[in-house]
Structure 1
Amino acid sequence: MNDYSQIKAQLDCLHIHFQLIEHPAVFTAEEADRYVADIPCMKTKSLFLTDKKKTTYYLVFVKDDQRLDMKKFAQTVGKKHLKFASDQSLLEKLGIESGSVSIFSLLNNETKDVQIYFEKSVVGRLPLTFHPNDNTKTMLLKPEDLFKFLKSIGFSYQIIEL
């Protein structure tokens, strides 16, 4: 698993600036939000989904207080049914455990077989919040820097309206 120091090194190489907030371990977006409550940012949650046959995986980013309409998202990606991926799939595909899903988990996806989607409302002028594969830290990055990072590790993404 890529830890914070490896993530920081990669971001430094790309000249990507970020803000780091350290806090006690958190296991939900709501818990993490308490530590960035006074900082202007887009609080996000990261959802890892799969299809019924576990052949396609999706990492979806929405506002932390937004409920994902699974049916609408499934239609958007051309699937009949989607579900949250199992803890085993999280470990196999992203090298992490439940509670630490993040954009930085993609560093552990060597096969590049996870599709990435951002709900349109999270991509704006405010920095977005993510864990650096460690639920005792929250990083804030500007969307353009986040997209630069994704490109640098070989991932594309789509911005969709849900």
Structure 2
Amino acid sequence: MQETLSRWLESHAGDCPFVEHPAVHTINEALIHVPAMPGLMVKNLFVRDQKGRRHFLVIVPFDKRIDLAALGRLLPASKLSMASPERLLQHLGITPGSVSLFALIHDSAQAVELVLD
């Protein structure tokens, strides 16, 4: 994904710093491995509805608790839950611990709905 992302950033945003770090699965891991940078630190979740027909990339401030039942009522979507690693790879071309807004560049089918808080 890094090469694709680097090319996209170069063509759309000019010269952007790129920071590599290991995959992180929790905010505590991110706080250890991701260097401090300006801006808002967020957490990214890839979730699906009960039937697996709708998929969402949910991005919220890192310290915010996410109530999937309440989010499901807001969207509306039935019984949201974390999507499997297989679905993550299928829709966004990435593995767990690598979920980010930039993964949407791999969603050529536009099957993933973005939810930003």
- Whole-angstrom distance in 1 between the partners of 2:64 and 2:13: 31
SS at 1:21's partner residue? coil
User: 1:100 maps to which residue?
Assistant: 98
Q: Over aligned residues, Cα RMSD in angstroms?
A: 1.8
User: 2:35 maps to which residue?
Assistant: 36
Q: Structure 1, unaligned stretches of length 5 or more?
A: 120-162
User: 2:50 maps to which residue?
Assistant: 52
Deviation per CA, 1:62-88, whole angstroms, max 9, x where unpaired?
A: 111221111221111112311111111
Q: CA deviation at 1:95?
A: 1.4
User: 2:7 maps to which residue?
Assistant: 9
- The amino acid across from 1:88 in the alignment is E
- Residue 33 of structure 1 contacts residue 43 of structure 1 at CA under 8 Å; is this kept in 2? no
Which has the larger strand fraction? Answer: 1
Identity of matched residues, %: 32
Q: Structure 2, unaligned stretches of length 5 or more?
A: none
- Whole-angstrom distance in 1 between the partners of 2:65 and 2:20: 26
- Residue 23 of structure 2 contacts residue 98 of structure 2 at CA under 8 Å; is this kept in 1? no
- The amino acid across from 2:84 in the alignment is S
Count of matched residue pairs = 116
- Whole-angstrom distance in 1 between the partners of 2:27 and 2:92: 18
SS at 1:75's partner residue? helix
User: 1:154 maps to which residue?
Assistant: none
Q: CA deviation at 1:30?
A: 2.5
- The amino acid across from 1:36 in the alignment is P
The runs of at least 4 aligned residues of structure 1 exceeding 6 Å deviation read none
Identify the match of residue 81 of structure 1 among 70, 79, 82: 79
Q: CA deviation at 1:58?
A: 0.5
- Change over 3 Å in CA distance of 1:41–1:30 after alignment to 2: farther
TM-score normalised by structure 1 residue count: 0.64
Identify the match of residue 62 of structure 2 among 61, 64, 73: 64
- Change over 3 Å in CA distance of 1:53–1:25 after alignment to 2: closer
